[in-house]
Every structure is written in structure tokens, then in C-alpha cells.
Amino acid sequence: MIRRPRVDIVSAGAYHARMITGGCPFSRRRFLQVAGGAAGVLAASALFPSLLRATGEKTVDVGISSAASPAERARGAVALVGGMKSFVSRGDVVVLKPNIGWDRTPEQAANTDPEFVVAVAGMCLAAGAKSVRVFDRTCNDARRCYVSSGIKDAVERFARTNRVEDVLRIYHVEDRKFVRTSIPNALSIKEWDLYRDALEADKIVNLPIAKHHSLAGITLGLKNMMGIMGGNRGQIHYRLSECLVDIHRRVPVALTVIDAGRVLVRNGPTGGNLADVKTFGKAFASRDVVAADVVAAEKIFRLAPRDVGHIGKAMESGLGISSGAQIRLVEG
């Protein structure tokens, strides 16, 4: 049986468990385990920073920024995990993959905030990227999504004002550029059509928006990479979790920056009602997409990672770093 994750939002700072009648996904015991573990790790790592390294385990930083604007949050979160230069090298071809999936406005919080996208694009350029490409395979008509989301206009305006039209480009996905790609050791999809530009990029920067999703429970960094998939994506909803793991194995992302400024908490992933949008005012960044998702799920939606099917599957399959002990939260 799949337990249905209840999606709820906590105001920043007030991080407390609440009993939910009927199918409680997050019992008091579970909360104490998670919170206790996290607190313990935090305390231990704060007191003995060398302890973790001494054990020889990998650790990963997750930066959490609570700055005022989307752009500042994006810059803040990336700075907290070492700055864009630790992810993008001079001369890299970078693909930025925001969520532009829906014919919705920024206020409706179904797509990544345009300012957020532009800020990350600017950081990539500053880090010396040779070219920065922005695209998504949309669910509604692509032209409408690019326009309504505000992302096309924002990126083009930024490129114009900074005279970088040749370097920073936003464009539509074309069918002919999907390449049948085999995925070794796949859990579910042995081969699939993936977008050439993503396969050929030196670095992929994953720019999801955090929101409610009816099947996946919530959608964050792992799910956002569906945007590079061609073919009948509806079919992978049969085994969504495994498919997402397969995609990330084949096309690893260098950096995930999650936009959690406005969060759609109901009627996702499409939304439309402003009443379903809550202001959360944060951004999360990490080089490890699983770690970013684990932290964002807990912080935004109070969901334990194992309660979100695809994050749980990613943890099981060892895709990234997910254990609380190896994740270091850097807030700013």
C-alpha cells in the first residue's frame, strides 16, 4: 500500500509535528526520530566538525536562503554551498532546466519564478560559462507556457540588457533533437528519448519550483528533470519513482536550486487558484539533488523523505546522499 503523503506547509521557523486524522504519515515517534537525529547530527557536526570527515563518510551541503527576493534567495543559496564557481567551470556549456510546464503566471506558482531563473543564469555567466541554454518540455502549449510563466521575457530581457544574446538563450524543445538513449542498469526504463542538449551539456543546473503534486506527493528537484524526456511521458507515471532514478543516473545534474518562494500547496502541479499559493520565502541549493529534495521536503512540507515515493526510491537505490547524518544544513 502506498501511503498518501499529506501536504501541508509550515511557516518558516515553526517546525512542529501535527497529528493528522486518518492515515498519519508522520507520527510523533517518527518526528522524534527524525528531529532527534537531525538535531543530534547538527549538534555533533557543530561541536566536532572534524568528526564526520574522520569517519570517512561523504557529506553534502544544502544551502537554505531566506533572503527577501527570488533573485537574492537564488544567489544566497548558491553562495552558501560554495558559489557557482564550484559547479560551473570556465568554458562550460550549461543547461538550465527550470519548470516551465504550465500555462500559468508566476503568482500562480506552477512554474519557477522568472527572477530566480535569471539570477541563476547570471551566476553561470559570471562563472565563465561558454553558453547557457534554457528550455523545458512543457505540458500545455509550449508558446503559452514560455510567455505566461514570464521566463521567456525575463531571460531575453536579461540577455539583451547585458548584451549576451549569443550566450544566454531560451528556446523551445524540438522533436528532432530527442535522442534514443540507453540507460545502463535501469530500474525501469532501459531506453528513452532524451533531449540532445541535456545529454551534450557540460553541466546541468536543475531549477525546480517546490509544489504539491498529486502522484509524487510533492515535486522538487528529482521530478523536474522529466523536462528532458521525450515520448509519452504519461506512461512513466506507471512507475514514476524508478523512472526518475533512471533519468538522474543517466543525466546527473551538477547543481539543484529549488525555488520555494511561493509554494503551491493544493491542486498541484497545475494550480491556478491564488488561494492555494503560500508564501514560504526560501531557496534550497545543493550539488546533490537527493539531499536537496530531502531537506526541502522536510522543511517546506514537513514530509519525511521516505513518505515521498520517488525520494524514498532514490534513497533506496543509493542515487545520492540522503541520510540526515551526511547532510549539512547551511542557512543564511
The residues binding other proteins (CB under 8 A) are: 1-2, 4, 103, 139-144, 146-148, 152, 172, 176, 213-215, 232, 234-235, 237-239, 267, 269-273, 276
Q: Are 206 and 74 in contact (CB under 8 A)?
A: no
Give the separation between CA 213 and CA 219, rounded to whole angstroms: 6
Smallest distance from other proteins to CB 153, Å: 9
Q: Are 216 and 239 in contact (CB under 8 A)?
A: no
User: Between residues 24 and 330, which has the closer beta carbon with respect to other proteins?
Assistant: 24
Taken in order 43, 46, 48, 50, the sign of the CA dihedral is positive
Smallest distance from other proteins to CB 224, Å: 14
User: Between residues 257 and 264, which has the closer beta carbon with respect to other proteins?
Assistant: 264
| DSSP labels, 212-225 | EETTTEEE-HHHHG
Smallest distance from other proteins to CB 183, Å: 20
Angle (nearest 5°) at CA 326 between 211 and 328: 65
User: Between residues 78 and 154, which has the closer beta carbon with respect to other proteins?
Assistant: 154
Q: Is 316 helix (H, G, I), strand (E, B) or coil?
A: helix
User: Between residues 18 and 144, which has the closer beta carbon with respect to other proteins?
Assistant: 144
User: Between residues 30 and 239, which has the closer beta carbon with respect to other proteins?
Assistant: 239
User: Between residues 145 and 319, which has the closer beta carbon with respect to other proteins?
Assistant: 145
User: Between residues 57 and 174, which has the closer beta carbon with respect to other proteins?
Assistant: 174
Smallest distance from other proteins to CB 194, Å: 17
Smallest distance from other proteins to CB 198, Å: 18
Q: Is 236 helix (H, G, I), strand (E, B) or coil?
A: helix
Element (H, E) at 45: helix 28-47
- Kindly report the backbone phi and psi dihedral angles of residue 330, in degrees, each rounded to the nearest multiple of 5, phi listed first: -120, 105
Smallest distance from other proteins to CB 190, Å: 18
Beta bridge pairs of residue 180: 193
Least Cα distance to 221 among 132, 308, 159, 325 occurs for 308
Smallest distance from other proteins to CB 2, Å: 6
Which grid coordinates are listed for 228? 528532458
Angle (nearest 5°) at CA 236 between 221 and 303: 40
User: Between residues 44 and 215, which has the closer beta carbon with respect to other proteins?
Assistant: 215
Whether the bond between 25 and the residue before it is cis, its omega within 30 degrees of 0, is: no
Smallest distance from other proteins to CB 54, Å: 44
Which grid coordinates are listed for 108? 500562480
